[in-house]
Structure 1
Amino acid sequence: MSQANPQPDARDLTLATTVHRRLREDILSGRLPPGQKLKLRDLAESYGAGASPMREALSKLAAEGLAEQLEHRGFRVAAAAPGQLDGLIRSRVLAECAALRESIRRGDAAWEEGLLLAEHRLHRVARSLDPHRFVTNPEWEACHLQFHQALLAGCGAPPLLAFCDRLREEARRYRALSNTLAYPGRDVAAEHAAIARATLERDAEQAAALLAQHYERTGAFVGADLGCGGE
């Protein structure tokens, strides 16, 4: 009588989900940089998980394109290739500028108030926790996300907003690289203020142009660095 294949332990599946979420956040935030080897033993110790849930989490990350499986050599964080960055920025510019123009056309007083509040909150929070070097401030990151979402919130097209959110999340690890390269030389606060001002003045072409430049500056900083480094 043949024995049935053992089913994955429920606890392992739950742990794999938790580890996947934590690894994904660490990759997107840049704490695990592009190209870094993901050694099973080291990860199991760092994330408090056994080999089985860790492999499950890594396989899922590979399916999402955030990790790469190396033949007989485990996993590594997916490379941040210049060509991928160019395509991502182009996609963001096309999608978000369309959503921004539609928000300017359709947005009501409540949308304007939401954008004003989001820009005010972002302006009041320090971008870095250290005045001398870049150290991510989680509060600023949260306000930054809310600002960019508020810009587009008036478009009245939830599927488009969901697509923009997905592109924004994919861009997070590239932006994490940009933060370390551009800080403090880049005046991001001034860029945000200019985008908000043009948007509230209902100047769709100027607002869209400023938003596109905002993303393209990130691409210029990161692309130059990627061109000098390895994979």
Structure 2
Amino acid sequence: MELVGSSAKTLATKAADVLRASILGGADAPGTRLGIDELKRRLGMGASPLREALNLLVAEGLVQRIDQRGFRVARADRAELADLIRTRCLIEGAALRAAIAGGDLAWEERIVVALHRVSRLPRSLSSAHYAPNPDWDEAHQAFHLALISACGAATLLDICKTLHQRATRFRNLSNAVGWRERDVASEHAALAKAALERRPDEAVHLLEAHYQRTGTVLDGGIEAGAG
């Protein structure tokens, strides 16, 4: 018998969290079919919360619905990456300007704390090759959301969080080509400094350059993976 109400909602949230982590970490590759029967065995829950979880991930852009055939992990190609980077620059640039204009002391403290945390964590769990570090991914997202947290629009923050998660998936799928050569910590520090010193034009420029540089690296990873 299927669970209904709040119990099903809780199971759907749990299922979405598990599947999201698997997709973001690259364990579920782009295009992988997400069949309900297989997921029932894998996650040990009924069809209703699983369908709700998959629909949540469809809304986040991590899963695609395949007409009457079910669901699959969303594609990850160069055109989607280019669109994602441009979208992030447009949306988060506007959010950052609003946050700088309206940010208070608590906003400044959030940025400082988030910057300290992400700078203290290794991007890779291995020094020999790139191995995604979930703690760094989480701290990285927290830093970028802290920057725009005073924009005054909760819906906008939700959109930016979803976009960041999609970018994280690209990063982990690309095997982070060139990750050793790039000084991400310095990029973060410069961005935080410009925001905290209330220099919106410079801060937005640095944010856009940061994302465009990320896009170039990830595009290289997609090309290498296709070869």
- For 2:171, the aligned partner's letter is R
How well do the aligned residues superpose, as a CA RMSD in angstroms?
3.1
Paired position in structure 2 for 1:35: 31
Shift in alpha-carbon separation, 1:179–1:210, aligned structure 2, 3 A: farther
Partner residue, 1:5: none
Deviations 1:26-60 (A, max 9, x none): 11332212133446665444433467765675566
Bigger Cα displacement from structure 2, 199-208 vs 90-99: 199-208
The answer for the alignment partner of 2:199 in structure 1 is 203
Q: 5+ unaligned residues in a row in structure 2: which ranges?
A: none
In 1: Cα distance, 2:35 partner to 2:14 partner: 18
**Partner of residue 2 from structure 2, selected from 2, 9, 33:** 9
Select 2:103's aligned residue among 104, 107, 125: 107
Q: Secondary structure at the match of 2:84?
A: helix
Structure 1 residue 69, shift from structure 2 partner: 5.4
Structure of greater Rg: 1
Cα shift readout 1:105-137 (whole Å, capped 9, x = no counterpart)? 222233222212221222122222222222233
Contact conserved, 1:58 with 1:67, CA < 8 A, in 2? Answer: yes
* Aligned equivalent of 2:139: 143
Shift of 1:167: 2.1
Matched, 1:180 2:173: no
Aligned with residue 81 of structure 2, among 85, 95, 98: 85
Distance verdict in 2 for CA 1:84–1:109, change over 3 Å: same
Aligned mates of 1:198, 1:81 — CA distance in 2: 33
Structure 1: gaps of 5 or more residues: 1-7
| TM-score normalized with structure 2 length | 0.79
TM-score by length of 1: 0.78
2:194–2:203: 8 Å Cα contact kept in structure 1? yes
Q: What secondary structure sits across from 2:149 in the alignment?
A: helix
**Across the two proteins, how many residue pairs are aligned to each other?**
223
Counterpart contact for 1:178–1:218, Cα < 8 Å: no
